[in-house]
Amino acid sequence: MNDIPPRQRQAHLLSVTALVFLEYLQSVMASFSSRYIMGGIEAAPEEFSLAAAAYAGVAVVMLFKHRVLVQRWGYRRFIRFSLLVFALGALMTGLANDVPMYIAGRMVQAVGGSAFFTGGRVQVNHYRGAARLGALQRFAVGIFLGASLAPLLAAHLLDAWGWRAVFLVMVPLTAVVAWLVEYAMPDHEPVEHDNPGQVHAGGTLVLVAGIFLLQFALERVQYDVFSGAFGLWELAIVAMLALGAFIWHDWSRHDGLIPYRHFVDARFLVGLSVYFFCYLVSAVSSYMTPVFLVQGLGFTVTSSGWLLSATSLFGLLTMLVHFRLAQRHAQLKHYLWFALAVLFVHGWWMSGMTGEVTQEALFWPLLLNSGVFLAVAQGTAAMGTFRHVDEKVFSHAYQVKNALREVANASGVSMATVVLQMRGTLHYERLAESTAALSPLYGNGVVDPMALGANPLPEALANLSSLMAQQATLMACLDYYWALCVVAVLAAVALACQKKFV
């Protein structure tokens, strides 16, 4: 039995697709454009990752309050408010001239954008039987369309109008989605909960403090790992204690924000681990791959956007095939084995690339990651994690999963910036040492490894420095792909040890 009127059904399904499309589009475009955004607001890599951590912190807090706000306002009004705030945040971010304004804009975006993924998925539960399978496919289509079109759209916006357009374009898109929501989304929940949650001021304060302390520690620990790691680990422990206290406090209440006791079990926790791994790999790759293509290999932004969009769009076909296969062969572990094997091949293949590689040669290895691994691994996680979750608490379970997603995304951006900064610096220093060995005049400021003459022009020195920076970036990215192979092997070992996803 479906509770969406037939005349509104197609518009409602389109609104489900549009909500998740909007969230993924903005997230991936921001990652693709990261270097241009940093240049535009004069942000250091750690400041950019701090913005990602701030976004995640706000999003996590809002996700924990998602269903309480829905029960208070109704779904249509809540999503409409979220879209308005998201558009306001996009406007603030697009008009930012410095780092503080950019971070403030992203935090406002997080207040609204955090509702889209959970809200879209919960709307699927308005359908029953075969109709729900179709609604799930529409939901997944929004994910892959947003992720695949984002690089292409971002590339053209960067080329034509600059980084600000990456955020400003979201304002009219949000208005279109808001119109769809106003027309097609019902106010009531698919399944009402017997005991609506209540906001507790003290618990909320502890949650906010724990989330922001944890995000700050995750963002800073890799920069201060040698100079101030002890203090940051203390900060992380305090954050974890605060979050533990919030969960314990919420667990003991019959009207807590999240009724953990009704859905948290070993299978759910294993599923969350799979999700976290997928989101972390996706976040790091979304940051690293554009840098590899544009700064490491020297491809244009537009051609890189086309390449990434084409390989990501293949994930839509993979998702549909995986969906059909899973209905006949439900062995979740086999799909995860396959996904990890694909991830390993992707990392191994990419690690062997040289500066002379063509875009045609990059198509297939890139497709393995965005077009196969992510589609199969995330699809399998979705099939297994919520299998035994009652629909009355499904929204809460999905809120917890998406809160973990925000932490994974912020952590991924931090990890990617650190890899590029640390490994790039190391390779640049080694290249400089090699250049010094070739030129006895290097220590006096004269570099002549390319027979530039005894008194090289400043332009020639600048060109050589630029080539060294490009080569260092390329080598840092290759290090990442080698590390991805190791990570895939370690994940396979962990998969072999668990017994819940079979």
**CA 95/CA 101 separation, integer angstroms:** 8
CA distances from 16 to 170, 246, 253, 371, 381 (A): 17, 31, 32, 22, 20
Residue 49 has pLDDT above 80, yes or no: no
Residue 91 has pLDDT above 50, yes or no: yes
Q: Are 207 and 240 in contact (CB under 8 A)?
A: no
CA distances from 397 to 121, 371, 477 (A): 11, 27, 36
Q: What does the pLDDT read at residue 47?
A: 81
Per-domain residue ranges for the chain? Answer: 1-196, 199-252, 265-502
Q: What does the pLDDT read at residue 384?
A: 87
Least confident of 5-14, 162-171, 266-275: 5-14
**CA 480/CA 311 separation, integer angstroms:** 20
Mean local confidence (pLDDT), 305-324:
91
Better-scored residue on pLDDT, 53 or 219: 53
Maximum mean pLDDT: which of 36-50, 279-293, 449-463: 279-293
Mean local confidence (pLDDT), 62-91:
92
- pLDDT grade for 372, boundaries at 50, 70 and 90: very high
Percentage of the chain exceeding pLDDT 70 = 86
**CA 262/CA 468 separation, integer angstroms:** 57
Instruction: Kindly report the backbone phi and psi dihedral angles of residue 389, in degrees, each rounded to the nearest multiple of 5, phi listed first.
Output: -90, 125
User: Mind listing the pLDDT tens digit for each residue in 194-228?
Assistant: 555 565 666 677 777 777 777 777 666 555 554 55
Q: What does the pLDDT read at residue 219?
A: 64
Mean local confidence (pLDDT), 264-279:
91
Better-scored residue on pLDDT, 318 or 469: 318
b/e per residue 68-102 (b: at least 16 CB within 10 A)? bbbbeebbbbbbbbbbebbbbbbbbbbebeebeeb
**CA 70/CA 81 separation, integer angstroms:** 11
Q: What does the pLDDT read at residue 277?
A: 95
User: Mind listing the pLDDT tens digit for each residue in 222-258?
Assistant: 555 545 555 667 777 887 888 788 778 777 766 667 7
Q: Are 177 and 22 in contact (CB under 8 A)?
A: yes
Residue 309 has pLDDT above 60, yes or no: yes
Least confident of 58-67, 163-172, 207-216: 207-216
User: Mind listing the pLDDT tens digit for each residue in 12-45?
Assistant: 999 999 999 999 999 999 988 988 999 999 888 7
Question: For 1-196, which CATH superfamily applies?
Answer: MFS general substrate transporter like domains (1.20.1250.20)
Average pLDDT of the chain is 84
Better-scored residue on pLDDT, 412 or 198: 412
Q: What does the pLDDT read at residue 442?
A: 44
What's the distance, CA 350 to chain centroid?
21
CB atoms within 10 A of CB 393: 21
User: Tokens for 45?
Assistant: 């890599």
Better-scored residue on pLDDT, 348 or 458: 348
Q: What does the pLDDT read at residue 221?
A: 59
**CA 58/CA 403 separation, integer angstroms:** 10
Q: What does the pLDDT read at residue 446?
A: 46
**CA 107/CA 198 separation, integer angstroms:** 24
Better-scored residue on pLDDT, 309 or 453: 309
**CA 46/CA 222 separation, integer angstroms:** 10
**CA 313/CA 146 separation, integer angstroms:** 9
Pick the CATH number of 265-502 from 1.20.1250.20, 1.10.10.10, 1.10.8.50, 3.40.50.300: 1.20.1250.20
Q: Do domains 1-196 and 265-502 have the same CATH topology?
A: yes
Mean local confidence (pLDDT), 482-488:
95
Give the closest residue to 274 by CA, choosing from 393, 141, 373: 373
